[in-house]
Structure 1
Amino acid sequence: MTQGDSEMEGDVTANGVRLHYKIDGPDEGIPLVFCNSLATDLNMWNEQIAALADKYRILRYDRRGHGQSEAKDEPIEIKTLADDVVALAEALGFKGAHFCGLSIGGMTGQALGLYHPGVFKSLALCATTSAIPKEMHQTWIDRVATVKENGMEAMGDTTVQRWFTEDWISANPSRVAEVRSMIVNTSIIGYSRCCEAISRLDYTSQLGSIKTPTIIIPGEVDPALPPAMSDVIHENLPGSRLETVKGAAHLCNVQAPDQFNDILRRWLDEQSA
């Protein structure tokens, strides 16, 4: 970053939960909020900070029950997570920012468009879905049972294998180790409550009411939330744009950061003009 930039890190109570956050980029930069995937923390966006913090004032945070944020053992919906983002943005001066979320972060972005229109200037919905098919409901419930019985360590290797391609895993052991550490250090409560919320996701029929400018960014070879799910969002959200990260699996922002950053930067610059 250049002279005059500042970094902040701390905690704030938003929507009744303590959330840990970090802010990077110039004080007068264009505001941008990043929302991470399930079982990661704000460090999943490190490659994006390096590419965007020259122009954008970036707020990252650990969603409830993740990273250094508070875990509350109470039922939540995806809307609850959207309410958290809005309260955090209000507390830190990021109303009117652009929003980028991946996986459950992209689900959160849809809830922002549906329930909090006008709070964010644009939405980037990455590697996500607008509904969980009935045949997948049990998968999410089984994951909750697994971590409650065996801890988050049981999710480490299988999750990494879903999130990245095999050749990338072999070629990037240090970054894989960082991501695996995020997974296994996620609160069991936070993971479980978010899995339950994901299992109930059903926004497809409502997408047409979202008026916020939206780009959809899937990973081309994502086995976790396949690109066909992004196609559904695109088809049901009039005026949306879809651009695919070629050769990348679920955490496409980590596996192919240059390509992801180029897509996102072009979108943000256009929406900020």
Structure 2
Amino acid sequence: MQVNINGIETRYVLANEGGGPWLTFIHQLGGDLSIWDQLAGYFRDDYTVLRYDVRGHGETAVSNEPFAVADLAGDLAALLDALGAPSTHLVGMSMGGMIAQQFALDHLSRVDTLTIADSTAANLPEARATWDQRAASARKDGMEALAPATLNRWLTETFRAAHPEAVEPIREALTRTLPEGYAMACEALRDFDVRSKLGTIRCPTLVVAGHHDTGTPPAASQAIADAIEGAQFELLDAAHLAPVEQSQRFAALLETFLERPV
């Protein structure tokens, strides 16, 4: 389904067969809501599961002007408003984890629990050139040129060899991403830094990292957990897309986390 959010036509999928509490999933840079297909199916009987395409990704329109991660968090707030969701359990992976952190900082009363996978609280100044290079490459050469290196970072060689049926939809979502949408998101992530504010987050928090993640080393995710009082940290045998590569383990962790008393 489509809805206009902050002037941008936004695709979302809502599964509320269970009619339970809201559970929202936010995808990675260069992905779309389909990355959560399996997990959404797992939780849809007990939760009202929301997935959506971040601006410039999937079937959500590209922004007309530059934006920050705070604007992406504002998109989520407006989407929840449009759908009548007062609060939600929030799960974000990679870029989605940055949006989730920002949303928790800006709208903490609307976050029932916070789950962050394979993410960081800051992209450091020394990494600016990498983000600028990715943005320039997308604009100049298109997404196909970025795909091989990106998939190598996202998933271990063992998983890619054993599960081509899982890898191909991820590659397709990446290469379908509009280059300008990807590039503008790169520039937003380049400037992201909420390290000094994380200590103000006061909600149950689960942080998950992939042991073999070279793009966002586990230490970056561990730092998020260390900064949020009472946060739980889990390390999975995976690369950057740990919730995909270790889907059963991640689902079990998330299920247990969501059901614990608050």
Structure 1-normalised TM-score? 0.93
Matched residue type, 1:226 = P
Aligned mates of 2:68, 2:212 — CA distance in 1: 28
User: What aligned pairs does 1:243-254 form with structure 2 within 5 A after superposition?
Assistant: 243-245=234-236, 247-254=237-244
Deviation readout 1:92-150 (Å, 9 max, x if unpaired): 12221101000011001110111112112111111100011222111000001111110
Alignment partner, residue 186 of structure 1: 177
Equivalent AA in structure 2 for residue 74 of structure 1: E
Determine the C-alpha separation between the residues in 2 that align with 1:112 and 1:213.
14
Aligned partner of 1:28 in structure 2 is: 19
- The TM-score normalised by the length of structure 2 is 0.97
1:231 aligns with one of 196, 204, 222: 222
Letter of the aligned partner of 1:252 in structure 2? A
Q: Which amino acid aligns with 1:233?
A: I
Match of 1:113 in 2: 104
Tell me the SS of whatever aligns to 1:204.
coil
The answer to whether the aligner puts 1:176 opposite 2:167 as a matched pair is: yes
Q: Following TM superposition, by how much is the alpha carbon of 1:27 offset from its aligned partner in structure 2, in angstroms?
A: 4.9
Structure 1: give runs of 5+ residues left out of the alignment: 1-9
The answer to whether the aligner puts 1:256 opposite 2:255 as a matched pair is: no
Question: Is contact 2:209-2:221 (8 Å) kept?
Answer: yes
Residues 18 and 45 in structure 2, CA contact (< 8 A), matched pair in contact too = no
Q: State the alpha-carbon separation in 2 of the partners of residues 94 and 126 from structure 1.
A: 23
Structure-2 separation of matches of 1:101 and 1:131: 15
- Tell me, yes or no, if structure 1 residue 47 matches structure 2 residue 30: no
- Post-superposition Cα deviations, 1:170-225, rounded to whole Å, max 9, x if no partner, equal 11112111100000100112101110011101111111111222111111211111
SS, match of residue 249 in structure 1: coil
Task: Give the length in aligned residue pairs.
Answer: 262
Compute the displacement of 1:49 (Å): 1.6
- The aligned residue for residue 14 of structure 1 is 5
Aligned partner of 1:270 in structure 2 is 260
Aligned-pair CA distance for 1:50: 2.4
Once the two structures are superposed, residues 9-62 of structure 1 have per-residue CA deviations (whole angstroms, 9 ceiling, x without a partner) of x11112221110001242522210110000111100012022211211100000
Q: 2:119 aligns to what?
A: 128
- Report if the CA contact (8 A) 1:73-1:189 is conserved: no
- Please point out which of 187, 190, 193 is paired with 1:202: 193
CA distance in 1, matches of 2:177, 2:78: 22
Greater Cα offset, 159-168 or 113-122: 113-122
Q: Which residue identity is paired with 1:261?
A: A
Inter-partner Cα distance in structure 1 for 2:158 and 2:19: 40
Q: Decide which moves more: 98-107 or 203-212.
A: 203-212
Pick the aligned partner of 2:60 from 56, 69, 77.
69
Code of the residue aligned with 1:69 in structure 2: it is T
Superposed, 1:90-101 pairs within 5 Å as: 90-101=81-92
Work out the CA distance in 2 between the residues paired with 1:94 and 1:51. Answer: 21
Q: Corresponding residue for 2:130?
A: 139
Partner secondary structure for residue 123 of structure 1:
strand
What RMSD in Å do the two structures reach over aligned CA positions?
1.2
Structure 1 partner of 2:51: 60
Does the 8 Å contact 1:219/1:251 carry over to 2? yes
Determine if contact 1:24/1:57 at 8 Å carries over to the other structure: yes
